[in-house]
Amino acid sequence: MDYTKVLDSFFSQFAGGRFGIRYWTNEVFHYGSGDRDLFTLHIKRPQVVKRLLTEGALGFGESYMQGDLDIEGDIASYLKLRHQHRHFTPSVRLVLARFWAELTKPRRRDAQIAHHYDRGDDFFALFLDNETMSYSAANFISDDDTLAMAQNTKLKLVCDWMNLPMGSRVLDLGSGWGGFAVYAAKECAWHVDGSTLSHKQLAYSEELVAQKNLSALVAIRYEDFTVLQRDKKYQGAVMIEALEHVGKGTLVSFLSSLSQCLESDAPLYLQYTGRYKPKPVDAWTLKYVFPGGYLPAEHELLDAALATGFKIERFEDHTEDYCKTMTAWISALESSQEHIERRFDEQTFRMWKLWMYGALVNFEIGDMSLFRVLLRKV
């Protein structure tokens, strides 16, 4: 099977700026229009083509991580181009090539499944802000805002939306490194109970709370927040980019359980990455970045909220904030490339670079959105 002809018939359908495809033979073919290539996709081994044809995003992502495929130039331009192929009608040549590649691909392959927090606090500290360690979209007021400033502004926004009096009991589900819990206790004098499924995050949070002398106000436990077991009622609850881990098809049961933990008229603040139309998470992201995750569509969240005794007070699209946050993370990650490759390995750097650029492109083209929502228990 001559895979170069297969890919030629495929890439010839793409419109837009010029780009190049370099094969393992060092031949280069150009597509699109313009006087220079925006990027060159370097396919270093013929086996990569089989993986692209049979495994889609998973095959592409793993080949990039392993260095069998590279993107020379603007990686974001390539990732945007990938979204065009959804609208293509596959040729007979392409259908046959996929069938043949499926028949002849290796049936066993070792693969390391990376879980999101296995790298530890020191890895995430390379690109998160050094004040709040917030692994979520910030809130930028000015183009001059640093990431740390914008993260603190986000935490203030959450508290302002909640608008609870001093002494309120607040549930923080998926509390991460404790940034919100510490901020809410210090600035609002709220009693915050948090939860995390990362032992490293728990240890970091407990040390932070002790350093800030907030142990009387903040308690974070190791707990699966999707299985709530609380013996008291709360005046409010917060989920900052934790809703994505609830999973598809379980929003109603989860929100119903959460509602039982809240007093009447309690606010529930949600910040989450979602979509306007339902769509599954791609296989590579599920395997390496977001195991078991799902990005709820707008109507899925709102319908579930109404069905479980919440009213909707605010629903706002703040996607631009995630574009700016992701851009800051990418800059910090790329600045730390040498350190990451030395401390961890090249594959780790390439995985996170691909995920961050992929997320940025998805936000920019509207395939993913950042929603900030305020619900209230009826």
- The pLDDT value recorded for residue 94 is 45
Residue 215 · residue 206 · CB < 8 Å: no
Mean pLDDT of 126-137: 96
Residue 111 has pLDDT above 50, yes or no: no
Report the C-alpha gap between 37 and 20 in whole angstroms. 6
What predicted TM-score, i.e. pTM, was given to this entire model?
A: 0.88
Kindly tell me the burial class for residue 182, based on how many C-beta atoms sit within 10 Å of its own C-beta (0-12, 13-18, 19 or more): buried
- The pLDDT value recorded for residue 247 is 84
Q: Is 158 helix (H, G, I), strand (E, B) or coil?
A: helix
Mean pLDDT of 326-351: 96
Domain at 121-377, CATH from 3.40.50.620, 1.10.645.10, 3.20.20.100, 3.40.50.150: 3.40.50.150
Residue 112 has pLDDT above 60, yes or no: no
Unique residue bearing structure tokens 């589900």: 173
Q: Provide CATH 3.40.50.150 ranges for the chain.
A: 121-377
Report the C-alpha gap between 227 and 248 in whole angstroms. 15
**pLDDT tens for each residue of 73-100:** 999 999 988 876 555 555 544 444 444 4
Residue 101 has pLDDT above 70, yes or no: no
Domain at 3-104, CATH from 3.40.1350, 2.60.40, 3.30.1050, 1.20.950: 3.30.1050
Q: Is 28 helix (H, G, I), strand (E, B) or coil?
A: strand
Mean pLDDT of 359-371: 97
Mean pLDDT of 140-152: 97
The pLDDT mean for the chain works out to: 89
- The pLDDT value recorded for residue 232 is 87
Written as one letter, the residue type at 91 is S
Report the C-alpha gap between 166 and 163 in whole angstroms. 10
Residue 9 has pLDDT above 90, yes or no: no
Query: Which tokens go with 235?
Result: 């005046």
Q: Model confidence at 69, in pLDDT bands (50, 70, 90)?
A: very high
Residue 112 · residue 293 · CB < 8 Å: no
Among 339, 337, 335, 331, which residue's Cα sits nearest to residue 356?
A: 331
What backbone phi and psi angles, to 5 degrees, belong to 191? -90, 115
Residue 277 has pLDDT above 70, yes or no: yes
